[in-house]
Amino acid sequence: MADSREGVDARTPSNATFVPTTGAMRRRPSFPFGRVAAVRNLPVAIVSIHAVAGAPNQPHRRTAGSRLQGWLLADDRVKQVKEANDIVEVVGEYLSLRKAGPTYKGLCPFHDDHHPSFDVDPRRQRYRCWSCGKYGDVISFVQEHDHVGFVEALQLLARRANIELDPSGAATDFQGRARLLDVVRWAAQQFHECLLDDPSPQAEEARRYLGERGLTGETVRKYGLGYAPRSGTWLSQKAETGGVALELLEKAGLIAPREQGPGTYDRFRDRIQFPIRNPQGQTIGFGGRILPSSPLAARAPKYYNSSDTPLFIKSENLYGIDQARHAAASAGYLAVVEGYTDVLMAHQMGVVPVVATMGTALNARHVRQLRRFAPRVVLVFDADAGGDTGVDRALAIFVSQDVELAVATLPAGLDPCDLLLAQGPDAFRAVLDGAVDALEFKLTHVLAGEGRGGVTPPVQGVEGRRRAVESVLSVIAQAPALPGHAGAVKMQLLINRIAHRLALKEETVWARLDELRKQRGGATDPRSRQKPVADDAERKAPAAPEERQLLEVLLAEPDLVLVAAESLRPEEIAHPGLRLLLEGLYDLLAAGEPTDLDQLRARLDNPRLAERAMKLQEVGRGNSDRAGCLRMLLNLFEERRRRPALQELQNRLQAPSDHEAALELLRQLTTRNVVGAG
Ligand SMILES: [Zn+2]
């Protein structure tokens, strides 16, 4: 996947401090989807595919969506895209997978997984979660994970494999995620080029700032750092000359409409730009640091992030994760620091499993992301910043998440970048090695407070111990408990340690915890978490076996759709989801298109239904006599059709007026050959 990192050149020696550079620009990459005019011709097609999904009760609709179908179907593009994107490779870009026999296992990204329940099967090219039941292929994985439709997922995968989906260029211009990724990448490139080459004194100042921070040219290029000029219209002017749609720039959070008067303004002004990338290495947003010398510095915040967009969520994304995740796999941990330059300096000095939050405190969503790549998270506190709230929040996460959360403390007065520059990577590694788990950290903190600096031996006196245990348990009581057996074991271990450290009986600690939980309203009962699952099950109302089997057979063998269509109408299927699938297959048949699942998914664009369909198809593939099975099923439907009449006959038989009438009714029943079948 082409991104700004590909533009790296070797002009600056890799280990030299980044020095101001001017001079000739490198090749100027053109905006990859520069045919902006084509977008305006396309909304009909975009709208229609969603309209199809949203209008299940209109059979045989033929809309402009078929235009879109046309290019999807051309040369079996879907198949081509799937073959070029191995499911293990693609899923492996989102989470860590470990080989386990013939398949690969990892933590499921679709539920709060505590043991690797997510199974990726390279032979079948399918994934399945044994815990939450998610199932599908590489396209549905991207759909589910990135919350995009079928076509967008297909586009993302096509571009990953360098497949041109539509050589005519008409249908690839989408207002979706792929377009937004393009525009953010384009902007990153503009900022980056500006930092490297702009002759203005401000850009010069930005280069000097980074050089003074000790960042090398290699780091600046590898991480695509940039500079956003002061003017306020710089980026929108670039967009206009480059043919980039302003509405996309606005959607990406880079420009905003002026509050007074017409036009837009750049949201990042006079700032060093740190592109924020997702774990796959795609730039999704920016963090900007104002130049210290800027006249804007007095009234603008020092750091500023992209607003939340469909790509970027400030409270979830982690700076440096695209690089750190690979190192985390072997290191077994990921460290969390506060600043962008802390991350960059750590990486530059070879301590790579380091990321930063976007100016927000570490939260459970961060931890769930981090745990996909490493079992241990080390939270790095400044010596003076590890106040009570920070410690308590870390403990709450430790209690409620299946994670080894450890806390490391920096020497007083130093941030990680300072420490690395002053004392080198080994000093920083020593800080990380000295991390203690969050409970230990809290206990030490509490005991130090109670013991007036005496961390060991344990606090003297009943009152001191009482206050210490209250302080720890009140945090634990408030945190949602980790569900299941793992949660129970973890809680047992925590309580055991608290009791031991505070020289209390375990039962006493448990009793006090129960009291505190009751006071908090008992919101910690793990059983309350199971409710959504039950709701989900209710929503998936059971289908009649013959209806389910029909779709199993048809989805596994597309040629049989023609046979079914000759004798069975979609209205005869009672289950709404299955009926929608059958209607879709018939629509494909009527349109002369292949009646297979990939085409059907493009048409429905409903991930939940597609998942169901794939499961049905999998079962159907295990059926060796699908044609015979279909014949039997069609007979069954034939019987169902006659059932109302049959019921009527049986009712009359129960009250016959005379013997002859009863005999006649029996004869009718027999000739219909349905006695006993109702
Ligand atoms: Zn799952």
AA letter at 181: L
Q: Which of 246, 288, 251 is nearest to 270 (CA)?
A: 288
627 Cα to the center of ligand 1, angstroms: 34
282 Cα to the center of ligand 1, angstroms: 25
308 Cα to the center of ligand 1, angstroms: 26
Q: Which of 287, 318, 316 is nearest to 301 (CA)?
A: 287
Task: Check residue 24 and give its pLDDT.
Answer: 36
117 Cα to the center of ligand 1, angstroms: 7
195 neighbors 226 (Cβ within 8 angstroms):
yes
608 Cα to the center of ligand 1, angstroms: 14
563 Cα to the center of ligand 1, angstroms: 37
pLDDT-derived band at 107 (thresholds 50, 70, 90) equals: very high
414 Cα to the center of ligand 1, angstroms: 41
**The two three-digit tokens of residue 396, written as one number:** 């709450």
Q: Degrees (nearest 5) of the Cα angle 489, 443, 491?
A: 10
129 Cα to the center of ligand 1, angstroms: 5
pLDDT-derived band at 641 (thresholds 50, 70, 90) equals: confident
pLDDT-derived band at 61 (thresholds 50, 70, 90) equals: very low
Q: What radius of gyration do the chain's Cα atoms show?
A: 31
45 neighbors 63 (Cβ within 8 angstroms):
no
Cα(112)–Cα(311) distance, rounded to whole angstroms?
Answer: 21
108 Cα to the center of ligand 1, angstroms: 4
Beta strand segments in 131-224, E: 135-136
Q: Which residues contact 550 (CB under 8 A, 6 or more apart)?
A: 564, 568, 573, 578, 582, 630, 633, 637
Name the burial class of residue 309, with classes exposed (0-12), middle (13-18) and buried (19+) by CB atoms within 10 angstroms of its CB: middle
**The two three-digit tokens of residue 63, written as one number:** 């809309």
579 Cα to the center of ligand 1, angstroms: 27
- CA 101 from chain centre, in angstroms, equals 26
Cα(599)–Cα(201) distance, rounded to whole angstroms?
Answer: 56
Cα(33)–Cα(165) distance, rounded to whole angstroms?
Answer: 13
Cα(136)–Cα(109) distance, rounded to whole angstroms?
Answer: 13
> Which CATH number among 3.40.50.300, 3.40.50.10860, 3.40.1360.10, 3.60.21.10 corresponds to the domain 318-526?
3.40.1360.10
366 Cα to the center of ligand 1, angstroms: 18
524 Cα to the center of ligand 1, angstroms: 22
Quickly count: other Cβ atoms within 10 Å of residue 288's Cβ.
25
pTM: 0.62
507 Cα to the center of ligand 1, angstroms: 36
Quickly count: other Cβ atoms within 10 Å of residue 497's Cβ.
17
Query: Which residues share a beta bridge with 409?
Result: 381
The span from the first CA to the last CA of the chain, in angstroms, equals 60
325 Cα to the center of ligand 1, angstroms: 21
Per residue, the 3-state secondary structure of 279-333, as one string, reads CCCCEEEEEEEECCCCHHHHCCCCEEECCCCCCCCCCCCEECHHHHHHHHHHHCE
User: What SS3 class is residue 78?
Assistant: helix
Q: Which of 554, 602, 590, 558 is nearest to 73 (CA)?
A: 602
DSSP state of 484: H
Name the burial class of residue 412, with classes exposed (0-12), middle (13-18) and buried (19+) by CB atoms within 10 angstroms of its CB: exposed
Q: Which of 222, 220, 219, 250 is nearest to 236 (CA)?
A: 250
131 Cα to the center of ligand 1, angstroms: 5
237 Cα to the center of ligand 1, angstroms: 46
Task: Check residue 647 and give its pLDDT.
Answer: 64
532 Cα to the center of ligand 1, angstroms: 14
307 Cα to the center of ligand 1, angstroms: 30
DSSP letters, 546-585, are HHHHHHHHHHH-TTHHHHHHHH--GGG--SHHHHHHHHHH
Query: Which residues share a beta bridge with 228?
Result: 271
533 Cα to the center of ligand 1, angstroms: 12
> 258 — phi, psi (to 5°)?
-65, 145
Task: Check residue 662 and give its pLDDT.
Answer: 62
CA distances from 195 to 189, 221, 306, 449 (A): 10, 10, 19, 48
509 Cα to the center of ligand 1, angstroms: 34
136 Cα to the center of ligand 1, angstroms: 12
Point out the least confidently predicted range of 97-101, 326-330, 650-654: 650-654
Q: What mean pLDDT value characterizes the chain?
A: 79
AA letter at 663: L
41 Cα to the center of ligand 1, angstroms: 40
212 Cα to the center of ligand 1, angstroms: 47
116 Cα to the center of ligand 1, angstroms: 9
460 Cα to the center of ligand 1, angstroms: 48
Higher pLDDT, 73 or 170: 73
Residues 137-152: what's their mean pLDDT?
A: 86
Q: Which residues contact 506 (CB under 8 A, 6 or more apart)?
A: 495, 496, 499
Domain boundaries, the chain: 4-12+177-305, 318-526
Q: Which of 282, 286, 278 is nearest to 253 (CA)?
A: 286
644 Cα to the center of ligand 1, angstroms: 43
Q: Degrees (nearest 5) of the Cα angle 456, 488, 361?
A: 65
144 Cα to the center of ligand 1, angstroms: 12
Cα(304)–Cα(286) distance, rounded to whole angstroms?
Answer: 8
118 Cα to the center of ligand 1, angstroms: 6
Percentage with pLDDT > 70 across the chain: 76
126 Cα to the center of ligand 1, angstroms: 14
626 Cα to the center of ligand 1, angstroms: 31
Give yes or no for a cis peptide into 229 (omega within 30° of 0): no
370 Cα to the center of ligand 1, angstroms: 17
Residue indicated by tokens 């004392």: 423
pLDDT-derived band at 376 (thresholds 50, 70, 90) equals: very high
106 Cα to the center of ligand 1, angstroms: 10
Quickly count: other Cβ atoms within 10 Å of residue 516's Cβ.
16
Above 70 in pLDDT, residue 658? Answer: no
CA distances from 167 to 14, 72, 75, 76, 164 (A): 39, 12, 12, 14, 6
Q: Degrees (nearest 5) of the Cα angle 361, 391, 355?
A: 40
350 Cα to the center of ligand 1, angstroms: 34
92 Cα to the center of ligand 1, angstroms: 16
328 Cα to the center of ligand 1, angstroms: 23
> 305 — phi, psi (to 5°)?
-110, 160
147 Cα to the center of ligand 1, angstroms: 16
556 Cα to the center of ligand 1, angstroms: 25
247 neighbors 43 (Cβ within 8 angstroms):
no
Cα(225)–Cα(218) distance, rounded to whole angstroms?
Answer: 11
110 Cα to the center of ligand 1, angstroms: 5
Dihedral (CA of 44, 47, 53, 59) sign: negative
391 neighbors 360 (Cβ within 8 angstroms):
no
492 Cα to the center of ligand 1, angstroms: 26
Dihedral (CA of 61, 65, 68, 72) sign: negative
Residues 605-611: what's their mean pLDDT?
A: 81
**325-363 pLDDT, tens per residue?**
989 988 999 999 989 999 999 999 999 999 999 878 888
Q: Which of 155, 158, 109 is nearest to 131 (CA)?
A: 109
**477-489 pLDDT, tens per residue?**
888 877 777 788 8
Task: Check residue 536 and give its pLDDT.
Answer: 38
In CATH, 4-12+177-305 is 3.30.930.10: no
125 Cα to the center of ligand 1, angstroms: 17
Point out the least confidently predicted range of 217-221, 391-395, 566-570, 649-653: 649-653
Cα(208)–Cα(609) distance, rounded to whole angstroms?
Answer: 55
**The two three-digit tokens of residue 591, written as one number:** 């349109």
**240-268 pLDDT, tens per residue?**
998 899 999 999 999 998 888 888 999 99
165 Cα to the center of ligand 1, angstroms: 31
130 Cα to the center of ligand 1, angstroms: 7
Above 80 in pLDDT, residue 651? Answer: no
- The phi-psi region of residue 668 (left if phi > 0; otherwise alpha if psi is between -120 and 50; otherwise beta) is alpha
241 Cα to the center of ligand 1, angstroms: 46
Greatest extent of the chain over all pairs of C-alpha atoms, in Å: 110
347 neighbors 323 (Cβ within 8 angstroms):
yes
Cα(215)–Cα(289) distance, rounded to whole angstroms?
Answer: 15
115 Cα to the center of ligand 1, angstroms: 10
120 Cα to the center of ligand 1, angstroms: 12
508 Cα to the center of ligand 1, angstroms: 37
